[in-house]
Amino acid sequence: MSNALVQSEFNFPGQKEVYHGKVRDVYSFDNDLLVMVASDRISAFDVVLPKGIPYKGQVLNEIASYFLDATADIVPNWKVATPDPIVSAGLKATPLKVEMVIRGYLSGHAWRTYRTGERLICGVTMPEGLSENDPFPTPIITPTTKADQGMHDEDISREAILETGLVSEKDYLQLEDYTRKLFSKGQEMARERGLILVDTKYEFGKDSQGNIVLIDEIHTPDSSRYFYLEGYQQRQDQGETQKQLSKEFVRQWLIENGFSGKDGETIPEMSEKFVISISERYIELFEKITGKTFHKANTTAIEDRVLKNVTSFLENQ
């Protein structure tokens, strides 16, 4: 099995500090420059699983780069360059303390809420009479708080966001507008590739000039759920499970093996076969959503490769 980069501890020239997130490590430099390394770690239920997934970081980084470039006319974003297959570099922004989740279909967390009989999610009323994976009449925005490291994101309503001052009303209305436009573009691009963009989340920040910019990744399998368009309606009509490309299958596997992120639960053992299957799913999504062939980067010495490529990029700044 190919190597996986589970942890990065680089010491780049001019580096000031590093922040280790759940799956990304962000290195900061002078002049508001950031270097984001997409590791091969995988998380579910806000818990990092014990094994890395080969090529996952490359898949996420290259999909995110693809969509950031494709949506730059909708909202400015942080990215400047991709000096390595698992690295993006860009300008620092101060993150806003909410994540903008938008859902076009009754799936995942929304469905788990709905099937309990609850019809309210993040202050938004979901219609009666829906089945799992049915489309909403119009996409709904269900924000979450942006949790500090080690904490869980929490559902929150628009009203609570404004009441607590997490985001100003002016900024929040802009976030909603950007979110709907980005989702519409993502759905359009997915449909062209025979996919349905079911739901996703966006993170925003403010640059040094106070402008709202899109940060982090977008439309990747870590932040989004995709169904195959072909056969979707037939599967719905027959009450069958949708064929999907997302991280949901990992969550389902964990749930089936007794883990849903609750205290006291033990993460099940991940076999090499299961790890490879996850890697293959990520590569499949890359090729399906971009229409490009995935070229596996050389993983024999990942750290050396990244250090060389990022150092070369920094020297030319």
Q: pLDDT tens digits, residue range 16-62? A: 999 998 899 999 998 899 999 999 999 988 888 999 999 999 999 99
Q: How far is CA 215 from CA 53, 98, 161, 205, in A?
A: 23, 12, 20, 6
Alpha-carbon dihedral sign for residues 223, 178, 87, 289: positive
CA pair distance 176, 178, nearest whole angstrom? 5
The amino acid at 239? G
Tell me what the mean pLDDT of segment 99-124 comes to.
Answer: 96
Whether the model clears a pTM of 0.85, i.e. scores above it, the answer is yes
Query: What pLDDT does 30 receive?
Result: 86
Query: What pLDDT does 221 receive?
Result: 81
E strands, 64-115, are 79-84, 87-91, 94-105
Return mean pLDDT, the chain: 93
Residue in the structure block whose two tokens are 């009509």: 237
